[in-house]
Amino acid sequence: MSPVIGIVIEAIIKSALMVFVLATAFAYLTLAERKIAAFVQVRKGPNRVGPWGLMQPAADGIKLLFKEEMVPAGADKVLFFLAPILTMIPAMVIMAVVPIGPDVELFGRSIRLGISDLNVGMLYILSVASVAVYGIVLAGWSSANKYSLLGGLRASAQMISYEIALGLSIIGPIILAGTMSLQGIITAQQQSTWYVLWQPVGALVFFLAGLAEVNRAPFDMPEAEQELTAGYFTEYSGMKFSLFFMGEYIKMVAVCAIATTLFLGGYLGPYVEQLPWLGILYFTIKTTALLFLMIWIRLTLPRLRYDQLMAFGWKVLLPLALANVVVTATATVLLG
């Protein structure tokens, strides 16, 4: 039984670390976004709490903790309570199969830097992503509010529409690597090169579909402040609100981390074979660069109209992704 206990203890430690790191990443991502937005708009941004506003996320967290939690009259109380939790869980769990570094030696045993590595890793990511729709549909439905319902419907229709393009865009790397395991895809990139060079279209489709999947600008129609107040979380306040916020930002991190793994070589970089711990650094740098790109896009591009958004998903991204699959497959078979 002792190997089982070893697995359990290792998994508990890694899970706790993962949750902690993602929560911290969320906190500082909000600060980074506000700082970058301030820089772009030539103002200072948060600068009162701590040096450069570095304690701002903590202050926000404490503030939200002491805010009143409201449950609107006519709401479905159970679902209203469950919806933010159901948004948060997939955002955390999707990262389970992403390796953030090569295996390292620690305390005399080989430790995988990642929760697990499944032979169906990419399918696991798709499956967790597809479950993420529930929190949003239920939030919209249970709030008994017109804005929420409309926002929830829009968000869910948008997410499922872009999920197909997302699913098709990951097939390119899978064909090239010949495996669905994320570790396997990184190993394959070690032997050839970063897949963004072989799969520029696939990478682009993945990134755009990922943006839509996490409802980020320019695909943030479901939360359009000007017409839907806050969309599906209009009625939420306090910690439940912050769970939605957290879910959204952690999903951003997850999309960037997965994009890094699939197209940017994951943790690969110079000297990573000699110093495995360096992998975490490379992985973090690449993921952060993509996150910066996401924030930059939000600050630069206006929001798409809803009909344009649906048309873009179904009529542009889907055929593009499908063509990419066909071209990649044909090239792989014919050229070897």
Partner 1 sequence: MEAVSAAQIIFIVVALLTVATTFLVVTVRNLIHAALWLVATLFGIAVIFVLLDAGFMATVQIVLYIGAIAILIVFAVMLTRRVMQDVGPQSNENWWLGTIVAAVFFAAISTLLWSIRWPALPGAVVGDTVLALGRSLVDPNQYVIPFEVASVMLIIALIGSITLALPGKQSE
Partner 2 sequence: MLLQELLRDYLPIAILLFVATGMAFAMVALGHLFGPRRDGKAKLMPYESGMTPIGSAVRRMPVRYYLIAVLFVLFDIEVIFLLPWAVVLRKLGLFGLIEMLVFVTILLVGYIYVWKKGALEWE
Q: Which range touches partner 2 (CB under 8 A), out of 80-88, 200-208, 267-275, 281-289? A: 80-88
Q: For 109, list phi and psi in degrees, rounded to 5.
A: -130, 155
Shortest separation between residue 307's beta carbon and partner 2, angstroms: 4
Among 104, 111, 280, 322, binds partner 2 (CB under 8 A): 322
Q: Which range touches partner 1 (CB under 8 A), out of 133-141, 208-216, 288-296, 325-333? A: 133-141
CA dihedral 235, 158, 209, 171 (to 10 degrees): 130
Per-residue CA distances from 79 to 131, 143, 256 (Å):
16, 9, 30
Residue with tokens 């968000």: 155
Number of shown-chain residues binding partner 2 (CB under 8 A)? 86
Q: What is the rounded CA–CA span in Å between residue 82 and residue 179?
A: 36
Give the tokens for residue 312: 């873009």
Per-residue CA distances from 247 to 88, 186, 241, 317 (Å):
5, 26, 10, 25
Q: Compute the chain's Rg from CA coordinates.
A: 20
DSSP state of 98: -
By CB under 8 A, is residue 96 in contact with partner 1?
A: no
Query: Binding pattern to partner 1, positions 4-43, x when CB under 8 A?
Result: x---------------------------------------
Q: Are 217 and 303 in contact (CB under 8 A)?
A: yes
Q: What is the rounded CA–CA span in Å between residue 58 and residue 330?
A: 52
Residue 69 touches which member of partner 2, partner 1, none, C-beta under 5-8 Å by kind = partner 2
Number of shown-chain residues binding partner 1 (CB under 8 A)? 26
Among 71, 104, 111, 131, binds partner 2 (CB under 8 A): 71
Give the tokens for residue 201: 């279209």
Among 24, 39, 58, 146, binds partner 2 (CB under 8 A): 146
Tell me which residues in 11-40 interact with partner 2 (CB under 8 A).
Answer: 11-12, 14-16, 18-19, 23
Query: Binding pattern to partner 2, positions 302-321, x when CB under 8 A?
Result: ----xx--xx--xx--xx--
Q: Are 143 and 75 in contact (CB under 8 A)?
A: yes
Q: What is the rounded CA–CA span in Å between residue 254 and residue 92?
A: 8
Residue 310 touches which member of partner 2, partner 1, none, C-beta under 5-8 Å by kind = partner 2
Query: Binding pattern to partner 1, positions 150-179, x when CB under 8 A?
Result: ---x--x---x--x----------------
Q: Are 173 and 203 in contact (CB under 8 A)?
A: no
Q: Please name the residues in contact with 93: beta carbons below 8 A apart, sequence gap of 6 or more.
A: 128
Tell me which residues in 236-265 interact with partner 2 (CB under 8 A).
Answer: 238-240, 242-243
Among 31, 94, 115, 133, binds partner 1 (CB under 8 A): 133
Shortest separation between residue 300's beta carbon and partner 2, angstroms: 25
Tell me which residues touch partner 1 (CB under 8 A). Answer: 1, 4, 76, 78-79, 118-120, 123-124, 126-131, 133-134, 137-138, 141, 153, 156, 160, 163, 180
